[in-house]
């Protein structure tokens, strides 16, 4: 069995209010889920993220995650 997560960004309408529509899926075998969850939790602890969600834009925006870490840390994250 697999755990699946799907997420989207943008507007699928033509014309929409964004220039792109992106739909992504991630599938993880259930037997690997606990290991993945532990690794994500460890990464969040290392970067002092607490219970916050991780978004791609976190590596380049002006939120507290970006402004409290160096560019090198954000790029390596």
Residue 11: closest CA among 3, 1, 21 = 21
Q: Are 75 and 59 in the same domain?
A: yes
What CA–CA distance (Å, rounded) separates 4 from 26? Answer: 6
pTM above 0.85, yes or no: no
Q: Are 32 and 54 in the same domain?
A: no
**Type and span of the H or E element at 74:** helix 71-76
A 10 A CB-CB count for 63 gives: 12
How many structural domains are present in the chain?
A: 2
Range of the domain at 69: 50-77
pLDDT digits (tens, 9 = 90+) for 19-53: 888 888 889 899 988 898 898 888 888 878 788 77
Q: Are 11 and 33 in the same domain?
A: yes
Query: Tokens standing for 38?
Result: 């532990």
pLDDT digits (tens, 9 = 90+) for 25-34: 889 899 988 8
Give phi and psi for 20, each to the nearest 5: -140, 155
């Amino acid at each position: 069995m697999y755990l699946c997560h799907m997420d989207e960004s943008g507007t699928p309408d033509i014309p929409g209010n964004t220039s792109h529509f992106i739909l992504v899926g991630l599938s993880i075998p259930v037997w690997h889920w606990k290991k993945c969850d532990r690794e994500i939790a460890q990464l969040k602890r290392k970067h002092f993220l607490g219970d916050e969600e991780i978004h791609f834009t976190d590596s380049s925006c002006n939120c507290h995650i970006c402004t409290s870490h160096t560019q090198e840390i954000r790029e390596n994250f």
